[in-house]
Amino acid sequence: MNEPGQVIEGVVDHLRYVAPDGYTVACVDLGGERTVVAAGAALVGVQPGETVRLTGGYSRHDEHGERFQVTECVSVLPASVYAIRRYLGSGLVRGIGGKLADAIAAHFGADTLKVIDTEPERLLEVHNIGPARARMIREAWAEQKAIREIMTFLQGVRLSPALAVRIHQALGEDAARVVRAEPYRLAEEVRGIGFHTADRIAMAVGLPEQSPERMRAGLLHVLDRANARAGHCHLPEKALIAQAMELLDADPGPLRAALDALRADGKVVVELLPGLRADGEVEPVVSARWLHVAESSVAGELLRLHRAASRMPDRVRRIAEERLGGDAPPYADLHPDQRRAIEMTLRETVSVLTGGPGCGKSHTVRVLTELVRAGGGRVALAAPTGRAARRLGELTGLPAMTVHRMVRPRADPAEDGALFDHTDPFLADLIVVDETSMLDLVVARALLRRVASGCHVLFVGDPDQLPSVGPGDVLRDLLEVPAIPRVRLGHVFRQALGSPIVANAHRVRDGLLPVAGKEFYLFQEEDPEAIPELVADLATRRIPQRRGVDPDDIQVLCPGRQRAAGAEELNRLLQERRNPHRPGVPEHWTDGRVFRPGDRVMPIRNNYDKGRDGVFNGATGVITRIVPEERRIEIRMDDGQTVGYGYDELDEILHAYAITVHRAQGSEYPYVIIPLTTAAGSLVLRRNLLYTAITRARHTVVLVGQARALEIAVANRGIRRNTSLAVRLNAALPEG
């Protein structure tokens, strides 16, 4: 091995590997047909096309050969014409592709970057560059300069320079000043930057550990963490202060002063709710203002709809009475509970229908909607995700859509069957919202605000499933309000009794261990390190070969994203088996993940501006193209539309070979594999999670893992989310 401390400079050609902790392996072009494989954590965030100055030393790896082990990496402006051409053609400067980069570098030579920086009007000398293109290049160059300044600072505090793009996009020209003077603003205003990253920057620029800014940021972080991790809408004030004391190593006095300041600024709400008691006493609770507004708004809208006089056509009730009283199918075959549910929905403006698998919820909805339509009523079917909406449509035989699409304003109310326009709040007499356990406060508020008084709303769901990914617990809150009518379907129909999936789902719901049998398999593996490999082998080789099924029909559902057998690790294993690196095929690394054409992916944020109808959390798609010179990927979604994501938006995309059970809600898959390890912990291993995972399978369930982990999941009922929707409704509605 050569002595360390050597310095080399070259252009990053491509990335070979990026670990989750930032350790990067890159191929660096040194010019003159000389290349080197560079490796080290110091390379975190480097991009193809960048010119880098690397400090380190050469070493030989037993498996991978000679490498330059990097101890320091500095991004520098390219000096040679070749490096300038590679830099401009990499897509790092918007508006310049490969051919245009060649033309600019050929015209200006080694002075190219100086011309762009100080004499951008001279770009008009280059063929095919007009005033509009020159202005775009000038603006993109100025943006790159600002980003590079932030990058340099982030590298100095050992943070990924890749964050610089997000910071600049969120804060614009003020970005560099905010990073140095108000770093805690980053946690509030920049997507992907949390308290811990902002705190690290704050310590680097010399803010005191007990500063009021840090106290306020810490309190907001504790509230945000309670929302993101557990779905809580508020925390008791004592719990909030205690958790912040532990996080910040601070005394309660400064934290209470910071809480008062947050309340004065309107960022949090502190209130006494008589229905929420701790040890027999009413205790103040604290919520982020946006969550307080959402929860209060949902309560208000439900009260408005509950109290409104019905607009359901009288003819619907007459036809329902006649047909439900007759002996013609399908009405004669209805269970008494199904009849009660239909009668309730036609009588009440707000009602709830619940039940487990095989209990006839979908059939009840199908008969209900047929009756309303037969009487001249207008029906709308909705679900929180695209997959759930399609499934609802298939089961009922009627069109269904996502709640997001239903409430999205459109200039033409007839466009794509949308039910809303900018002025008319709603055009239906009955709305059925399926999979209500998935409905969080934000989505519920968007829907209910647009529903006209007098319209009937039926919430359908299974309260034994996981609650929503987002904050709140809408379905369970509704069930805790006696004044809101509800029917629970408990009879399992004969056609479902023979299903081992249905039988085991009910066993788990009742706190009993599932039983192995046909189409329900238990693979016990006590070594947690071996579980991911076993799952990957089952999903990519054993099940496809033995059953003759397409691997696309097999979905791995994980209790969580991280730790052993989590979605992140399994996605890496499954991707390498199903869609490995192919020489000459473009791919893009970011945040320890590589995106390749053919990858199965899933958006995790709603984005109404993508594609024709927008994309929504929980949808799935396949990457069809990666365009390095434009720094974007193209995805064909399951609904047929093609959408583009810039490299700076890829934190909105997850690989979907393995997904968390939460993100599978509302979906069904032919084959489901569920890895279970005790490393996941009791916060994740819960009965409702296992129940939800099992009920996602249509044909076969395979449980893989430690016996103790399965026992923990079945026994653990989990914790109730901190919500106040039921409290607000019960305070306003008389019982009965």
466 lies in some domain: yes
Domain check: are 434 and 461 in the same one? yes
For the entire predicted model, the pTM comes to 0.84
Domain that holds residue 20: 6-70
Domain check: are 265 and 295 in the same one? yes
CATH classification at residue 535: 3.40.50.300
Residue 361 assigned to a binding site = yes
What is the per-residue pLDDT for 414?
42
Beta-ladder partners of 75 = 52
285 lies in some domain: yes
- Helix or strand run (H / E) with residue 31: strand 24-31
Domain check: are 485 and 386 in the same one? yes
CATH classification at residue 19: 2.40.50.140
Domain check: are 382 and 458 in the same one? yes
Most confident of 95-99, 191-195, 271-275, 619-623: 619-623
Give the residue among 248, 253, 259, 247 at the shortest CA–CA distance from 285. 259
Comparing 481 with 494, the larger pLDDT belongs to 481
163 lies in some domain: no
Residue 417 confidence class, pLDDT cut points 50, 70, 90? very low
Give the pair of three-digit tokens for residue 683: 């916060």
What is the per-residue pLDDT for 421?
34
* % of the chain beyond a pLDDT of 70: 94
Neighbours of 726 (CB within 10 A): 21
Comparing 587 with 387, the larger pLDDT belongs to 587
Domain check: are 334 and 479 in the same one? yes
What is the per-residue pLDDT for 424?
44
146 lies in some domain: no
192 lies in some domain: no
Domain check: are 491 and 504 in the same one? no
Mean pLDDT on 378-397:
86
Domain check: are 672 and 572 in the same one? yes
pLDDT in tens, 122-164: 999 998 888 988 888 888 888 878 877 787 777 677 777 667 8
Mean pLDDT on 489-498:
74
pLDDT in tens, 11-53: 988 888 888 777 889 999 988 778 899 999 888 778 888 888 9
Res 413 pLDDT > 80: no
Could you check whether the bond before residue 583 is cis, i.e. omega within 30 degrees of 0? no
Residue 206 assigned to a binding site = no
pLDDT in tens, 453-479: 999 999 999 999 999 888 999 999 999
Q: What is the DSSP letter of 704?
A: E
Residue 225 confidence class, pLDDT cut points 50, 70, 90? very high
**Sheet with 697-705: strands ordered across:** 520-524, 697-705, 669-676, 554-558, 658-660
Residue 437 assigned to a binding site = no
Give the C-alpha separation, 50 to 30, whole Å: 12
Residue 493 confidence class, pLDDT cut points 50, 70, 90? confident
Give the 3-state DSSP-derived string for 257-305, with helices as H, strands as E and coil as C. HHHHHHHHCCCEEEECCCCCEECCEECCEEEEHHHHHHHHHHHHHHHHH
DSSP for 193-261, written as a single string: --HHHHHHHHHHTT--TT-HHHHHHHHHHHHHHHHHHH--S-EEHHHHHHHHHHHHT--HHHHHHHHHH
Comparing 569 with 421, the larger pLDDT belongs to 569
39 lies in some domain: yes
Q: How far apart are the first and last CA of the chain?
A: 81
Residue 358 assigned to a binding site = yes
The whole-angstrom distance between residue 317's C-alpha and the CA centroid of its chain comes to: 42
Domain check: are 606 and 654 in the same one? yes
pLDDT in tens, 628-686: 877 889 999 987 889 999 887 888 899 999 999 998 988 889 999 999 999 887 778 99
CATH classification at residue 292: 1.10.10.2220
Domain check: are 278 and 426 in the same one? no
Query: What residues contact residue 27 under an 8 Å CB cut-off, 6+ apart?
Result: 12, 13, 14, 15, 16, 35, 36, 37, 38
Give the burial string for 263-281 (b: 16+ CB within 10 Å, else e): eeeebbbbeeeeebeeeee
Domain check: are 482 and 613 in the same one? no
Give the burial string for 598-634 (b: 16+ CB within 10 Å, else e): ebbbbbbebeeebbebbbbbbbbbbbeebebbebbbb
Res 578 pLDDT > 50: yes
Give the pair of three-digit tokens for residue 104: 């600019």
Q: How many domains does the chain have?
A: 5
What is the per-residue pLDDT for 161?
67
Residue 386 assigned to a binding site = no
Give the C-alpha separation, 108 to 205, whole Å: 40
Domain check: are 364 and 480 in the same one? yes
Question: ∠ CA(630), CA(632), CA(635), 5° rounding?
Answer: 140
